[in-house]
Amino acid sequence: MRCYRESILERDAPLRDFIKDKLCCHYWTPEQIAGYLKHRQSDLPSLSHETIYAWIYKKPQKQEKLWKFLPRHKATRGLRKPKGTGMSRIPNRVSIHDRPQTVESEFGHWEGDLMAFLKNSKHILVLRERKTMFTKAAPLETKKALTTAQKIIDLMKKIPSVARKSMTFDNGLEFAGHETCSKRLKMKSFFCDPYASWQKGGVENTNGRLRRDLPRNTNIHTLSKQDFYETIDNYNSTPRKSLNWLTPLEAFNKNLRAVALRA
C-alpha cells in the first residue's frame, strides 16, 4: 500500500501563513513570493512558484478561493507552457544582466509594470523612476503592445531627456513594443528574468502602495480622471524616509536640477 507524503506547504504552517499573507494582503504573485523566499530571507524554506500554484489549486485552498488573488484570478489553471516559451516573442529583448551597474545609483532609470483590475479586465500602466520613486501612471484601453508602447511614450515625452536613460520591464507581451519606445524616447530597455518580477521591485512596491486607493475591484470606467490623478499626486507628494523625508516629486526635481547644473 502506498503511503501519502505531505507536501512542504502541508507540513510547514509558518510557510503557509507567510504565503497567504503575501498573496492575500500584499497581492504578491507566486513568482514574487518564491523569489523573495529564495533570495531575500533565510528563516523559511524556499520553494518554486509552481509548488505555490499547485497548492493554491488544491483543496482546501481552492475552496478558500485563494486563486482570486492571482493576477488572472482564474478558478482553474491553464495548460503549462515549457520553460522559455514566449521569450522570443519579444523582439530584440535585452536581459537585465546586460544592464549597466550605474543604474543602481544613477538618476533617470525607470521601471514599468501593469496593475490589473477585476472589473472589465482593465489595467493601469505604472512607470517609476528608480532613485526618487517618482511615478507616472495612466489607464490603458487595452494591454496590446502598440497601445502600451504609445501610452509609455505619451507619459515619458513630457519628462526631460536627461531623466530618460532606461526602462526595465518584465516579460509580459504588452511590452513587446519596447523598440518603438526606445526609438521615440531615446531610452534603452531591459527585461527581467522570467518569473523574477522582484528584479524590478521598486515599481512592484509602488503598485502595492497604490492598491490602498485602487484595490483590485476598482471600476476604472467609473473612476473620474480627477480622482485617479489625485491618487498618483498623493503618492508623489508623500514624504519618504529613504529620501530623507523628501517627497518623490521633490526628490525628482532636486535630481533634475543637479543634472542640469552639471551639464
Same domain, 142 and 33: no
Containing structural domain, residue 231: 92-262
Convert the pLDDT of each residue in 151-192 to its tens digit: 999 999 999 999 999 999 999 999 999 999 999 999 999 999
Q: Is residue 149 part of a domain?
A: yes
Same domain, 149 and 20: no
87 band by pLDDT with thresholds 50, 70 and 90: very low
Same domain, 59 and 114: no
86 band by pLDDT with thresholds 50, 70 and 90: very low
Q: Is residue 119 part of a domain?
A: yes
Same domain, 32 and 148: no
Q: What average pLDDT score do residues 182-210 get?
A: 92
Q: Is residue 1 part of a domain?
A: no
Same domain, 111 and 198: yes
Q: Is residue 3 part of a domain?
A: no
Q: Is residue 258 part of a domain?
A: yes
In whole angstroms, give the CA distance from residue 253 to residue 263: 15
Q: What average pLDDT score do residues 87-101 get?
A: 86
Q: Is residue 78 part of a domain?
A: no
The string of DSSP codes covering the chain is -PPP---HHHH-HHHHHHHHHHHHTS---HHHHHHHHHHT-SSS----HHHHHHHHTSTTTTTTTGGGGSTT--SS--PPPPTTTTGGGSTT--BGGGS-GGGGT-TTEEEEEEEE-SGGG-EEEEEEETTT--EEEEEES---HHHHHHHHHHHHTTS-GGG-SEEEE-S-GGGTTHHHHHHHHT-EEEEPPTT-GGGGHHHHHHHHHHTTTS-TT--TTTS-HHHHHHHHHHHHTS--GGGTT--HHHHHHHHHHHHHHH-
Quick one: what percent of the chain has pLDDT higher than 70? Answer: 90
4 band by pLDDT with thresholds 50, 70 and 90: very low
Q: Is residue 86 part of a domain?
A: no
> Is residue 2's pLDDT more than 80?
no
Q: Is residue 81 part of a domain?
A: no
| The pLDDT of residue 169 | 96
Q: Name which residue leads in pLDDT, 73 or 121.
A: 121
70 band by pLDDT with thresholds 50, 70 and 90: confident
Same domain, 195 and 258: yes
Number of domains in the chain: 2
Q: What average pLDDT score do residues 14-43 get?
A: 89
CA nearest to 94, candidates 152, 166, 158: 166
Same domain, 206 and 123: yes
Convert the pLDDT of each residue in 226-248 to its tens digit: 999 999 999 999 999 999 999 99
| The pLDDT of residue 263 | 66
Same domain, 202 and 244: yes
Same domain, 114 and 217: yes
| The pLDDT of residue 165 | 96
Contact by Cβ (8 Å): 134, 251 = yes
